[in-house]
Chains A and B, each alone.
Chain A
Amino acid sequence: MNTFKNNIKILPLVLMVLGIIGLAISFSSAPSSTEEVEQILASQHHGGHGASHGDAHAADHDSHGDAHKAESHHAAHGEDAHGHNTHEVTVQDEAHTEHEKHLHHVLHQLQNKPWAALYVAAFFFFMIALGVLVFYAIQFAAQAGWSPLLFRVMEAITAYLLPGGIIVFIILALSGFHLNHLFVWMDSEVVAHDELLQGKQGWLNVPAFLIRAALYLIAWNVYRHFAVKFSRKQDEEPAGNVWYKKSFKAAAVFLVVFIYSESMMSWDWIMSFDPHWFSTLFGWYVFASMFVSGITVIALTTIFLKSKGYLAKVNNSHLHDLAKFMFGISIFWTYLWFSQFMLIWYSDIPEEVTYFVTRINDYTLPFFGMVALNLVFPLLVLMNSDFKRINFIIVTVGIVILIGHYIDIYNMVMPATVGVSWSIGLPEISAVALFLGLFIFVVTKALTKADLEPSGNPYLEESKHFHY
């Protein structure tokens, strides 16, 4: 029906190929032994402190260095711990085992790194499709009159739910079968020495985890399937609004199911990276992230389609409303982020506060930078009413919001999987390129499947005349 120019078809393929190549390099260059780790650490240290990767390490090494400076003039960590001038054998042994432990630790982190990068990007794009699906369901449940002109855009974005969901499920299953070590509670060796994890085994065990993941994905995809079907049927047979009423009921049921399943999904797929730690509003927090990212992608796709001459009936009042949602949900996200942070910061209970101590000490820039990207920038720019109608501004803020929420997911996943060995480098960028390519590919394909303007929706007239 609608066709896109070749460059829109080629771009996702190029992104996917580059992403796969980058990931292949990242996976194959991940260290496989502690000797390689030692080399990497040594080269990083000599390479200077400028690299973001090395910052936490560098600090770590410096403190080691200081402690040993009196005896040894070597700055490098490895030689330091072996200490040429240390006289007592016991000290040397202790230092040696400590050092070996550290190397093993870093080895696991570096082996996790490409996997974690893959997972963050896979989840991020999956969550955009899910956020759009919820927004779509809310439009039906609320019988919103302004939005029917955008329904086909939303339906097309949710087309990514199935492939994206399958990819996330495969990564989770690979963790379950111990092909990667993203989830520490899946390691029976660790659980054997950890009473807290033993107590949580009733919920956190691999079979139950995968069954739950499958159930969430099936439930959401079933709704997506029927919602799109009903919406298309309504166009074919608008008389009596039979299909519209079905859409309404399906949306209402889905929203109830969703808010429970999404909450549990966030415990399973994200919170269990730090299995000792828990937060009661974590589900809402993740939801706010996916909601604002989803709405932003609706706005960006709409602007893109309009620039190509489609969606003639969509006017800047529709865009204004989407931008208001971007603004409002950004503040809602901050509210939840801060609510979670403040209570834990205030009470300062060791097992809780460790979550934020890790993030503030080791992830200072992404942790605080995210607040600037997700709150300060959208707040100050989108506050002006007129700015919410200017394409250039919505696109700029939209891209900043998407980067901010990628970093938000990054901050949720990375500290527990790669720890201080984090960086935004080849694996992260390749993974984003891969899934961005797949996302654009699936969405543009879905956009060509149906007329971009629905014809049977009872609120269509209201949507066409929507003005603010």
Chain B
Amino acid sequence: MASKVAHAYYLDDEVLMDAVKACKKKHYHIEDVYTPFPVHGLDKVLGLPHTRLAICAFIYGLIGLTVATTMMNFIMIEDWPQNIGGKPSFSYIENLPSFIPIMFELTVFFAAHLMVITFYMRSKLWPFKKAENPNERTTDDLFCIELDASHVEESELDAFLKLTGAEEVNFKNQ
């Protein structure tokens, strides 16, 4: 953890992107960036590793598909054989078309819900959690870059950040 950080506030996401690129070029260490909405391409500029959430989503989808298949096979074929559309074959595969919508729905349902829950857990978010962002205005209209300022001259960093278009620069000891 940095003992001292700088918070630079920006009004526009394009300006923010350019500022992040400039900081990277100067080799300033960016602790984190807070934005009111997801900024396209920011993760790439920050050099963050690619999210593995997509892999989870795929696995969750497969789980949903399996649940749907076993559930319907048990309910409609084994436990209480149903005559589906006047085709009493009592076979899952022969009646597959009528099961596909539910297989699809449950795949999406499992992928979506479990992915959101995974995302919350991974981001350490839960109800009544205290906000961690440096300033609540970053949930409204401001974009904030948090920089490690422990080994840099304050005035120099301040001037640099103002040059990149920062509206406001604060320094904070932690």
Q: CB within 8 Å of B: which residues of A?
A: 338, 341-342, 345-348, 383, 385, 467-468
Contacts and interface: CB of A to CB of B under 8 A. Distances in A.
B40 A348 contact: no
A342 B85 CA distance: 11
Given A385-B54, A467-B40, A467-B41, A342 B97 contact: yes
Contacts of A346: 84-85, 97-98
Given A467-B41, A468-B40, A468-B41, A338 B85 contact: no
Contacts of B100: 338, 342
Nearest to A383: B58
23 contacts: A338-B97, A338-B100, A341-B97, A342-B97, A342-B98, A342-B100, A342-B101, A345-B85, A345-B97, A346-B84, A346-B85, A346-B97, A346-B98, A347-B85, A348-B85, A348-B86, A348-B87, A383-B58, A385-B54, A467-B40, A467-B41, A468-B40, A468-B41
A347 B40 CA distance: 47
Interface string B93-135: 0000110110000000000000000000000000000000000
A76 to B, nearest CB: 35
A19 B15 CA distance: 57
Nearest to B97: A342
Contacts of A383: 58
Contacts of A338: 97, 100
Contacts of B41: 467-468
A313 B85 CA distance: 56
Interface core residue of A341, A345, A468 (most chain B CB under 10 Å): A345
Contacts of A467: 40-41
Given A342-B101, A348-B85, A468-B40, 20 more contacts: A338-B97, A338-B100, A341-B97, A342-B97, A342-B98, A342-B100, A345-B85, A345-B97, A346-B84, A346-B85, A346-B97, A346-B98, A347-B85, A348-B86, A348-B87, A383-B58, A385-B54, A467-B40, A467-B41, A468-B41
Contacts of B86: 348
A320 to B, nearest CB: 12
Nearest to A317: B41
A353 B41 CA distance: 50
A465 to B, nearest CB: 9
Nearest to B51: A385
A347 B98 CA distance: 11
B68 to A, nearest CB: 16
- Chain B residues touching A, range: 10 to 19
A-B pairs with lowest CB-CB distance, top 5: A346-B85, A342-B97, A345-B97, A467-B41, A348-B86
Contacts of B58: 383
A78 to B, nearest CB: 37
A296 B54 CA distance: 25
A385 B97 CA distance: 30
Contacts of B87: 348
Contacts of A345: 85, 97
A346 B94 CA distance: 11
A405 to B, nearest CB: 21
Contacts of A341: 97
A348 B84 CA distance: 11
Interface in B4-42: 40-41
B17 to A, nearest CB: 10
B97 to A, nearest CB: 5
A385 B41 CA distance: 14
Contacts of A347: 85
Contacts of B101: 342
Interface string B34-71: 00000011000000000000100010000000000000
A342 B54 CA distance: 30
A383 B101 CA distance: 20
A467 B21 CA distance: 15
B155 to A, nearest CB: 34
A342 B96 CA distance: 10
Nearest to A467: B41
A346 B40 CA distance: 45
A348 B100 CA distance: 17
Nearest to A386: B50
Nearest to A346: B85
B64 to A, nearest CB: 16
Nearest to A342: B97
A467 B100 CA distance: 37
A338 B87 CA distance: 19
A419 to B, nearest CB: 25
B54 to A, nearest CB: 7
Contacts of A468: 40-41
Nearest to B54: A385
A376 to B, nearest CB: 14
B50 to A, nearest CB: 8
A345 B41 CA distance: 46
Interface string B68-87: 00000000000000001111
A347 B101 CA distance: 16
A174 B86 CA distance: 44
A323 to B, nearest CB: 16
Contacts of B54: 385
Contacts of B98: 342, 346
A51 to B, nearest CB: 30
Contacts of B85: 345-348
A326 to B, nearest CB: 18
Nearest to B86: A348
A347 B97 CA distance: 12
